[in-house]
Every structure is written in C-alpha cells, then in structure tokens.
Amino acid sequence: MKDYILKNKKLLICTSIFTILVSIITVIAPIYVGKIINKFLELSYQEFITNLVILTILYISIYIFNILQVKFLSKIIAKIQKEIRENLFKKINSIKIKEIDKIEYGNILNQFSIDLENISNGIIQGLPKIISGIVIVIFSIIVMLKINIKMSIILIIVAPVMYFISKWVTKNTNVFFNDRANIVARLNNNAEEFITYQNTVRDFNYEEIAEKKFDKLNTELYKTGIKAEFYSALTNPATRVVSNIGYVLTGIVGVILMSNGEITIGDVTTFLMYTSIFTRPFNEITAILSELQTAFASSKRIDKFLNSKDEIFETKNENTIKVKGDIEFKNVEFSYTNEPFIKKFNLKVEAGKKIAIVGKTGAGKTTIVNLLMRFYEIDKGNIYIDGIDIKDIPIKELRENIGIVLQDTKLFTETVKDNIAYGLENISEDEIKRVSKLAKVDSFIEKLPKKYETIINNEMLSEGEIQLITIARVMLRNPSILILDEATSNIDLITENKIQQSMLELMKGKTTFIIAHRLSTIQKADRILYLENGNIVEQGTHKELLLKKGKYFDLYTNNI
C-alpha cells in the first residue's frame, strides 16, 4: 500500500498542506474571537472591526482550504482505488490457477469492494485526521499556555480522560461486534443454503425445521446486535459528559481568574472554544486507530493476493508451432501439498487418437489435463507435444491448440454470438451458425427473441443449453487437441445422442482426451486409462479391459 500512496505523493503533499493549514487556522481563529469580545467591551471599535475582518477571512480560508483538501483527498482515493482494482483484475489473469484454487471466490470479490473501502476509510482518509489531530494538539497547547497556564492544565487533563474512556468503550464494544459478524456470516450461509437447495428442503419436508433454525440464529443476532449497538452508542455520551465537565470547569475557573484580573472575558471565551477544538482529536483517535487496524488487515490481504505466484510465460521458443497432436508424459510428478499425488506418470498418445480416462472421484483424471494445459505446473518430469516440451511453447499458443469443455462451464452475460466466438475476433456469422448446427444448438438459438444477438446469462438457460453453446465454442476454435471433461454430464440422454455424431465429427483427426462417468460415451475410444491415486493401473480398449475383469470391469458392470 505504501507504493500506491508514494506513487501519488504530489496529491498526498497537497492534501497534507491544506490539512495543516485548516488545522492551524482552526486553532488561531478562537484567539480573534477573544480579541473581538475584548475590543468591543473596551469600546475600541476600529480594532474590533479589524479583528472581525481577520476572523471572517480566517473562516473563509478554512472553508476554501477544506474544499481543496477534500478535492485532493478524493482524487488520491479514486486514483489509488483505480490502480488497485486494475492490478487485482490483471492478477486474476496471471496468477497460477493452483494458487487461485486455494482462495475462496468471495474473498477475492471482497478485495474489489470491502477491502478497498476499508483502505480508503482507514489509511487514506485516516491520514489527514492524524495530521490534523497532531497539528491541533501541538498548536493548541502552545496558544493556551501563552494565554493562561492554569486554564490550560484543565484542558490538558480532560482530553486524555476522554481518550481513555473512548478506548475502553471501543475495546469492550469490539467483542460484541465480532460476535455479531460471526452470527451474520452463519445466518447468511443458512439463508443461502435454504434458497439454493429449495428442492431438497421441500422434498424432505424440512421447511419447518429450517424456519426454526433461522429463527434461532435471527434471535441470537437480535440480542447480540442490541448489546453491540448499545455499548457503541455509549462512546459519545460518555465523552460528552467529560467534555461538558471540562467546559464547566473552564468556565468556573475562567470567571474566578477574571474576577482576580488575571484573564479577560475574551480569553475565557477562547478557552471555552478550545474545550471542543483541543479535545476533539482525543475523542476521534480511538475510532481512527480502529479504522487503521481494519485498513491494514485489508491491505495485507490485497498484498498477499497481488504477490501470489504468477504463471510462467517465458519460453525458449517464440516461433509459431503447427501442432499435430502427439503427446507424451515422461516421468511426471505433481503434488497439491507436500505429499506427492502423481508419481512417475508415463503416457504416450499418437496424434488423432481418442483416449478415455476413468476412475473414482479424486483419482487424478482432471489433474492430468490440467497439467497438459499448464493450469498447474509439474514438479518433475516433462510433458511433450510433437516432441517439444510444453514449457518451450508460448502459453497463448499452447492453449490456442487445446480446446476444453468442462463439466461445469459458465456463460458470460453477452450475446449468443459473442459467447460462441469467445476469445476470437473477426469471426463471420456464417461460421458461428455452422458450428451451432454441428453442436445441435441452432434450433434453440433461432427461437430466442433476437436470435444470435440475444444477450444471455447462466440463469436464463438450462445446463444442457449452456453446455451445447460451450461445445459450439470449442468447435469454432477447431483445435488440434481436445479435452472433454464430463462434457455431456449435464445433458439429458436425448440431447446427448443428438450431439454424439457432431462430437465424433469434431474429434476426427484430433487428439482427444475424454473424461466421463457415463461409460457409454467412451466405449469407442482407442484406449481407456483407469486411474487410481494419480497412476494408471489399467489400460486398453473397452473389450480388452472387460476381458481382464479388473477394476474397469467392476466400474462398468456397476454402472450398467
């Protein structure tokens, strides 16, 4: 965060200058209020008018400098937030997928909103308050001591008392606010599950129990919320009591000193004004420190994310490569944690062959294709395409030659045309319509209000329709290598049968990896690999593996 602030040091300096000017003038102004009163009582009207003009100029200056301070502060906040958002968004495109998988998506989204707001409120807006507070306290003490030492001592004692009261209340209030935050998180999670899984809730007649659980949490939140709000509301009344006591004491001592001729009524008025000006920073400092703590915590989260490891884009070969599709995994090792997951994995696939990968959940099926795509980096060994190590192939070019259809694919809130041509430019509508027909999605698109120009999203379409559009997207890219990761798992049997011929047409001449639970989709594969704990334990054709009566046989017979 320091780098972002220093990058905008000119704006920061301007903000600080006007903050200091406002603070100094705020301290000076009460002096002239006292002088005006004294000169009026002394019937020295010329000096009265002079001091009145000076006071007016001072308050107009405060107004102008405040506007300029807010202007520069707003600009620095907006610039820093813009720069951080840009860097966060760029980071999402460059961070290793292995790293991003460790982070909850909600936490990443919070960095764009809540964390940035915390930084704005704490570090950026808190800084002028700290500068202002320091200047006001120092200059006020100098001025007050110069006017009268006895009255100064009263305010110098009162101000820290306000600070400690405010600190004590805030410290005890934070406990209740933390409890409230935890209950809110549980309540929101409960509500989200209730809404998301409505079919399950109603199927099991769980409505009444769900309502009781929600009411229990809601009541708990109600009770904790009352305590949190009540104790937090004590801060201002408690500090105001001390401030009022200081105000009264200042007035009483001022009257006594005035009757002894040690001080003028104008000076007493000045001191009464200082009871508010001098004590304000002590009253605010607890809130500022609390905001700063929250801001630093948010800053650390953002810095941690921005400093996460990026994908490695450097390659030895920057030349364009015409990929045929020969693939080899040679002694590949990979681990998600410190424990190795894939050990000495070896596999050779000839160009144009269809390879099916099966196995139980967690066997490593998707991991293998993630390594091929370089979504994850291998720990040891090599992966070759056409005899070239994939680390020597530019990332962009590698992925342009590999088309992937995932089990849980999402669409973007764009037109149908833009979704199908995603990542490609200058694609004709005829080409888009051609692949739409191959994917058997054209009849559905033609029924939409604006056909290919209709803006769609995931909520508008069924899972099967979404999958068909993503399949059309891959068809349009026409890559040399295909990865179908449960590509038809969300499609009903009738729809699946419709696209089987199109998929076979798409796979012609292409190296294809098929990951599927529906074993009917892989029977025609050139080779089937049965994975267990990241290793190939059986391989062969469908018929060969059935004759072995091993793990694939058990899997197949249990799925019939």
As a whole number of angstroms, the distance between CA 339 and CA 371 comes to 17
- Asked if the structure places residue 14 within a domain, the reply is yes
- Of the pLDDT bands very low, low, confident and very high (cuts 50, 70, 90), residue 312 is low
Which tokens belong to 369? Answer: 């294709």
Residue 369, pLDDT > 80, answer: yes
- Stated as kind and residue range, the H or E segment containing 119 is helix 114-119
pLDDT tens digits for 52-82?
Answer: 899 999 999 999 999 999 899 888 888 888 8
- Asked if the structure places residue 267 within a domain, the reply is no
Domain with 437 in it = 327-559
- Give the residue with greater pLDDT, 543 vs 159: 543
- Asked if the structure places residue 284 within a domain, the reply is no
Per-residue pLDDT, 457: 78
Per-residue pLDDT, 350: 92
Q: How large is the average pLDDT for residues 499-522?
A: 74
Q: How large is the average pLDDT for residues 485-511?
A: 68
- Of the pLDDT bands very low, low, confident and very high (cuts 50, 70, 90), residue 331 is very high
- Asked if the structure places residue 322 within a domain, the reply is no
Per-residue pLDDT, 93: 76
Per-residue pLDDT, 185: 67
Same domain, 118 and 219: no
Same domain, 109 and 238: no
**Contact residues for 231 (Cβ-Cβ < 8 A; gap 6+):** 169, 172, 173, 176
Contact 302, 67 (CB under 8 A): no
Residue 133, domain CATH: 1.20.1560.10
Mean pLDDT of the chain: 81
Same domain, 114 and 193: no
Number of domains in the chain: 3
Residue 399, domain CATH: 3.40.50.300
Instruction: Please list the helix, strand and coil fractions of the chain in percent, rounded to the nearest 5, in that order.
Output: 65, 10, 25
Residue 317, pLDDT > 60, answer: no
- Asked if the structure places residue 90 within a domain, the reply is yes
- Give the residue with greater pLDDT, 210 vs 17: 17
Same domain, 371 and 497: yes
Same domain, 368 and 393: yes
SS3 of 174-215: HHHHHHHHHHHHHHHHHHHHHHHCHHHHHHCCCHHHHHHHHH
Q: How large is the average pLDDT for residues 44-51?
A: 86
- Give the residue with greater pLDDT, 93 vs 223: 223
- Asked if the structure places residue 156 within a domain, the reply is yes
Residue 284, pLDDT > 70, answer: yes
Same domain, 158 and 200: yes
Per-residue pLDDT, 22: 93
- Give the residue with greater pLDDT, 232 vs 255: 255
Cα three-residue angle 520-524-529, rounded to 5 degrees: 85
* Burial class for 235, CB neighbours closer than 10 Å (0-12, 13-18, 19+): buried
Residue 24, pLDDT > 70, answer: yes
Per-residue pLDDT, 497: 67
Tally of CB atoms within 10 A around 32: 22
Same domain, 395 and 540: yes
Residue 159, pLDDT > 80, answer: no
- Asked if the structure places residue 450 within a domain, the reply is yes
- Give the residue with greater pLDDT, 497 vs 254: 254
Same domain, 441 and 514: yes
pLDDT tens digits for 449-494?
Answer: 888 888 887 777 777 788 888 888 888 888 889 888 765 555 566 6
Same domain, 357 and 411: yes
As a whole number of angstroms, the distance between CA 187 and CA 214 comes to 7
Q: How large is the average pLDDT for residues 107-135?
A: 81
Same domain, 171 and 214: yes
- Of 254, 281, 274, nearest in space to 265 by CA: 254
Residue 106, pLDDT > 70, answer: no
Q: Which residues of 327-364 are buried (b: 16+ CB within 10 A; e: fewer)?
A: bbbeebebeeeeeebbbebebebebbbbbbbbbeeebb
Contact 470, 458 (CB under 8 A): no
Per-residue pLDDT, 487: 57
- Of the pLDDT bands very low, low, confident and very high (cuts 50, 70, 90), residue 313 is low
Same domain, 335 and 436: yes
Per-residue pLDDT, 28: 92
- The widest CA-to-CA distance across the chain, in whole angstroms, is 118
Query: Of the given ranges (134-143, 166-175, 473-482), which has the lowest mean pLDDT?
Result: 166-175
Per-residue pLDDT, 285: 74
- Of the pLDDT bands very low, low, confident and very high (cuts 50, 70, 90), residue 515 is confident
Residue 517, pLDDT > 80, answer: no
Query: Of the given ranges (185-189, 334-338, 346-350), which has the lowest mean pLDDT?
Result: 185-189
Contact 504, 472 (CB under 8 A): no
- Asked if the structure places residue 287 within a domain, the reply is no
Q: How large is the average pLDDT for residues 106-129?
A: 78
Residue 218 DSSP SS3: helix
- Of the pLDDT bands very low, low, confident and very high (cuts 50, 70, 90), residue 112 is confident
Same domain, 102 and 168: no
Q: How large is the average pLDDT for residues 372-396?
A: 89
- Of the pLDDT bands very low, low, confident and very high (cuts 50, 70, 90), residue 361 is confident
pTM of the model: 0.66
As a whole number of angstroms, the distance between CA 112 and CA 140 comes to 40
